[in-house]
Amino acid sequence: MSSKHDFEAVFNDLKRILRRYEPEMDVKADSDANYYLDTFKMSQFNKKPVFFASAQIKKNYASYYLMPVYAFPVLLEGISGELRQRMQGKSCFNFKETDAVLVAELERLTELGYNKYKEEQWI
């Protein structure tokens, strides 16, 4: 069984992915268990900032939420079966332990999502 310590290591890997986007985002949360980025662009639907991504430690895993894949599902077309197995819902990836290959793939997927948000002028 994975320990909270394992989840902290995973969380730190996931948080590292997102830190690169900090200069152009609004950091809504930055704690030992929650890191959350919004854009500064307001949604036309709910008049709130457009959510970009977050990493969180939950009870049984560490989660990575990547809203660009929800808004633009085409971004998921090339992901591996292993990463797809980590998905819960349309934009959440859960990890119980760190996996360098999947973290690298998630890093590439996050960059694709960032580029799509830029293309759509959401950033």
Mean pLDDT value across the chain:
94
For tokens 């268990």, the residue is 33
pLDDT at 2 over 80: no
Does the pLDDT of residue 113 top 80, yes or no?
yes
The answer to whether residue 39 scores a pLDDT higher than 50 is yes
- To the nearest 10 degrees (0 to 180), the angle between helices 4-19 and 100-119 is 40
Domain count, the chain: 1
Once rounded to an integer, what is the mean pLDDT over residues 4-25?
91
What CATH number corresponds to the domain at position 70? 3.90.1150
pLDDT digits (tens, 9 = 90+) for 78-92: 999 999 999 999 999
Mean pLDDT of 21-45: 95
* pTM for the model: 0.92
Q: Is the pLDDT of residue 3 over 60?
A: no
Question: Binning pLDDT at 50, 70 and 90, where does residue 45 land?
Answer: confident
Both structure tokens of 88: 């819960």
Sign of the C-alpha dihedral computed for residues 77, 78, 81 and 86 taken in this order: negative
The candidate with the shortest Cα–Cα distance to 110, out of 88, 94, 93, 98, is 93
Quote the domain boundaries for residue 19. Answer: 4-119
Picking from 1, 52, 56, the residue whose alpha carbon sits closest to that of residue 22 is 52
Q: What's the pLDDT at 1?
A: 45
Residue 20 above 70 pLDDT? yes
Helix/strand/coil for 44 = coil
Q: How far apart are CA 123 and CA 101, in angstroms?
A: 28
